[in-house]
């Protein structure tokens, strides 16, 4: 039977996002949904794409981002759509743009300055007002947002160096409830960072209490990803159990030379604990991390590249040892002169990176920092690097598994209904790519570059990326979790 389609994608190799084996089919789209997958040789459409056997996959879901502000300030989201991302999870590591019911301190409290070092974007008094702004001015990608614990602390506490008082905990709980009611999907923490490091486990448990009623998630950049990683996993799982919600271990990694190889230990513990409570995890495909600059982190790293500096922007993109040499000072003194600033730190083991990425339940998230002058290449290249370098060149997993880790698995974990899979009735979020050429181009030296092989990207039935160019369409939506587990 003939049917009218708004778009037909012909001769696709369908990787459906569930991890199931590939098959050949045509895909017919009506409005924002996939209407038919099968043989559409008897149908036609004004808009047709012939893939000639190249891949159609669900649009990639970036499990871990700091795109809260980019969606408003750069709604084209080029670093994301150019690598095939159609949905982002924002508000991670305790850092969200909202709510900020009072003026943010000047200078902006790190690490909130990862989103905006001037402070003018922290202008949303409630989470609802932030989500309204996202809806009023859509970006290219869909988004599901977390509310950040560090943002909540800055919003209600004057002395950030101590634990929150019972009254402050009450205030934060009210803000969490408001955010969840408005459509947030959970709470994130960055217990590794000052000032959140001052928060005891009990503070986190208490402020997360409202999550249970809303089926929210608890996502965490754990307190310790180095020597104390096992204790931090325990703490994370305990918070999940006591609140009664699923936990997401953000960008799981092992930091510092003496912890190299310990992914055997952490993954075994995560696997064992998964039998008892819902646990998810994500990772980015690099052995170097990136965040705000600090001497304590720099001194434990094999190499440090400065990504931005408010006072000395001309040093962005240069190695810290070279900067210190040019300044004629020690590296520690150079850090002082550069602050506030950001950096890339080389202090992980490639073997651990690969084992964590290969671990069945691990999702892919970029953790990209979109406002850094010279960002970590993960901002532009995470997904093509997994598909090109780790899947095709190194053979860590099949194409089906790689796509599952960036689509179907992520949609199930975050409760994004009808996303992350190619099936009839699902939303038409698709990434069309060339399996033989897809790869990262961005590097540490040249971090801003379009990836190879991503041909077209479709969000809610509209083409947003077409062979190297954004089309101007802005069909992205705000996504929420269902109130009950699916
Ligand atoms: Zn983080």
Confidence (pLDDT) at 481:
87
- For residues 120-124, average pLDDT: 97
CB 12 within 8 A of CB 397: no
CA 290–ligand 1 middle distance (angstroms): 9
Model pLDDT for residues 241-274, shown as the tens digit of each residue: 999 999 999 999 999 999 999 999 999 999 999 9
CATH number at residue 454: 2.30.40.10
Q: State which residues form the domain around 242.
A: 60-290+344-414
The b-or-e profile of 2-22 (16+ CB within 10 A means b, else e) is: eeebbbbbbebbbbbbbbeeb
Taking alpha carbons only, the member of 309, 327, 312, 284 closest to residue 373 is 309
CA 411–ligand 1 middle distance (angstroms): 20
CA 338–ligand 1 middle distance (angstroms): 21
pLDDT at 441 over 80: yes
User: Is residue 194 domain-shared with residue 219, that is, in the same domain?
Assistant: yes
User: Is residue 317 domain-shared with residue 406, that is, in the same domain?
Assistant: no
Model pLDDT for residues 173-205, shown as the tens digit of each residue: 999 999 999 999 999 999 999 899 999 999 999
User: Is residue 318 domain-shared with residue 215, that is, in the same domain?
Assistant: no
State the Cα angle at 52 between 51 and 54, rounded to 5°: 60
User: Is residue 70 domain-shared with residue 171, that is, in the same domain?
Assistant: yes
CA 149–ligand 1 middle distance (angstroms): 13
CA 404–ligand 1 middle distance (angstroms): 23
Count of C-beta atoms within a 10 Å radius of residue 26? 23
User: Could you give the dihedral angle defined by the CA atoms of residues 22, 25, 28 and 33, in that order, rounded to the nearest 10 degrees?
Assistant: -20
CA 252–ligand 1 middle distance (angstroms): 9
Sorting pLDDT into bands at 50, 70 and 90, what band is 486?
Answer: very low
Sorting pLDDT into bands at 50, 70 and 90, what band is 482?
Answer: confident
Sorting pLDDT into bands at 50, 70 and 90, what band is 483?
Answer: confident
CA 214–ligand 1 middle distance (angstroms): 24
CA 387–ligand 1 middle distance (angstroms): 23
**Residue 247 falls within a domain, yes or no?**
yes
Residue finishing a domain among 398, 414, 430: 414
Residue finishing a domain among 304, 319, 343: 343
Chain centroid offset of residue 454 CA: 19
Beta bridge partners of 306: 343
Model pLDDT for residues 404-426, shown as the tens digit of each residue: 999 999 999 999 999 999 999 99
Q: For residue 46, what are its two tokens?
A: 């004004």
């Amino acid at each position: 039977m003939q049917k009218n389609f708004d778009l037909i994608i012909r001769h696709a190799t369908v990787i459906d996002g569930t991890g199931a084996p590939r098959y050949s089919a045509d895909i017919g789209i009506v409005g924002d949904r996939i209407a038919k997958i099968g043989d559409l040789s008897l149908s036609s459409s004004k808009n047709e794409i012939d893939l000639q056997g190249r891949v159609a996959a669900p649009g990639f879901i970036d499990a871990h981002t700091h795109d809260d502000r980019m969606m408003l300030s750069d709604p084209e989201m080029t670093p994301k759509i150019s690598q095939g991302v159609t949905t982002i999870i924002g508000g991670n590591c305790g850092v969200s743009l909202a709510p900020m019911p009072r003026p943010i301190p000047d200078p902006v409290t790190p690490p909130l300055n990862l989103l905006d070092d001037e402070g003018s974007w922290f202008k949303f008094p409630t989470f609802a007002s932030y989500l309204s702004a996202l809806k009023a001015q859509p970006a290219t990608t869909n988004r599901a947002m977390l509310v950040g614990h560090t943002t909540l602390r800055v919003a209600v506490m004057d002395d950030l160096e101590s634990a929150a008082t019972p009254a402050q905990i009450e205030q934060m709980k009210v803000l969490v409830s408001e955010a969840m009611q408005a459509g947030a999907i959970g709470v994130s923490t960055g217990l590794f960072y000052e000032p959140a490091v001052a928060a005891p486990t009990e503070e986190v448990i208490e402020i997360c209490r409202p999550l249970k009623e809303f089926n929210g998630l608890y996502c965490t950049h754990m307190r310790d990803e180095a020597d104390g990683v096992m204790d931090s996993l325990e703490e994370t799982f305990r918070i999940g159990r006591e609140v009664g919600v699923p936990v997401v271990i953000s960008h799981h990694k092992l930091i510092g030379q003496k912890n190299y190889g310990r992914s055997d230990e952490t993954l075994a513990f995560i696997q064992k604990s998964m039998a008892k409570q819902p646990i998810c995890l994500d990772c980015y495909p690099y052995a170097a991390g990136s965040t705000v600059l600090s001497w304590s982190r720099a001194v434990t790293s094999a190499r440090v590249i400065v990504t931005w500096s408010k006072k000395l922007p001309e040093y962005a993109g240069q190695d810290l040892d070279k900067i210190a040499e040019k300044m004629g000072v020690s590296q520690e003194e150079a850090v002082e002169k550069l602050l506030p600033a950001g950096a890339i730190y080389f202090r992980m083991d490639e073997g651990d990176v690969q084992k964590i990425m290969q671990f069945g339940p691990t999702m892919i998230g970029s953790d990209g920092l979109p406002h850094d002058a010279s960002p970590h290449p993960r901002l532009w290249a995470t997904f093509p690097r997994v598909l090109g370098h780790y899947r095709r060149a190194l053979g860590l997993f099949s194409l089906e598994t790689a796509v599952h880790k960036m689509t179907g698995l992520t949609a199930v974990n975050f409760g994004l209904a009808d996303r992350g899979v190619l099936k009839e009735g699902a939303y038409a979020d698709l990434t069309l790519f060339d399996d033989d050429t897809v790869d990262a181009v961005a590097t540490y030296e040249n971090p801003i570059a379009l990836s190879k092989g991503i041909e077209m990207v479709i969000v809610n039935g509209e083409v947003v990326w077409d062979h190297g160019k954004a089309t101007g369409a802005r069909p992205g939506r705000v996504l929420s979790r269902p109130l009950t587990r699916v």
